[in-house]
């Protein structure tokens, strides 16, 4: 029994059969969709299969490697974020001061944004 490692992407699914395009650009391989949990078009797969002599035959899956969950992005410091939030808050305060000088202008929405930025600055600068 020969086995083959298959890494690729599911190209299409027809009648419970998934057509997988391998990463190494070899001809596509057909696998039963029930052997791949959560099978859908565009899903990246990493399988171990038993290749068949007929290129159009459905290959049995011997093993599979579950996909890794994405790693969270690490941020060393928030100084650049806080600095940008302070600049934005100051600009909004200047715009609000100009609006208050003009009669009939309401700066309620700008004040809400300023309050939100002040909360964020306080949260990230601790």
**Which pLDDT belongs to residue 107?**
80
Among the residues of the chain, which ranges form H helices?
A: 79-101, 108-124
**Which pLDDT belongs to residue 99?**
84
Parallel, antiparallel or unpaired: strands 58-59 and 17-22: unpaired
- Tell whether domain 4-64 is in CATH 3.40.1170.10: no
Cβ contact 86:122 at 8 Å:
no
DSSP for residue 65: -
Cβ contact 32:19 at 8 Å:
no
Cβ contact 27:4 at 8 Å:
no
Cβ contact 123:98 at 8 Å:
no
State the chain's mean pLDDT as an integer.
87
The predicted-structure confidence for 23-39, as pLDDT tens digits, reads as follows: 888 889 999 988 888 88
Structure tokens at 24: 């190494």
Domain ranges of the chain: 4-64, 78-124
Q: How far is CA 27 from the centre of its chain?
A: 28
The predicted-structure confidence for 87-116, as pLDDT tens digits, reads as follows: 999 999 999 888 888 777 678 888 999 999
């Amino acid at each position: 029994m020969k086995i083959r490692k298959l890494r690729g992407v599911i190209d299409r699914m027809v009648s419970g059969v998934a057509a997988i395009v391998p990463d190494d650009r070899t001809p596509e391989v057909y696998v039963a969709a029930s052997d791949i949990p959560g099978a859908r078009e565009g899903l990246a797969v990493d399988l171990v299969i038993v290749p068949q002599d007929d290129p159009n035959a459905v290959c049995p899956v011997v093993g599979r490697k579950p996909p890794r969950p994405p790693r969270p992005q690490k941020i060393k410091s928030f100084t650049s974020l806080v600095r940008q939030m302070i600049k934005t808050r100051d600009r909004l305060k200047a715009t609000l001061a100009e609006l208050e000088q003009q009669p009939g202008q309401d700066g309620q929405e700008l004040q809400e944004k300023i309050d939100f930025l002040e909360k964020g600055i306080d949260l990230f600068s601790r």
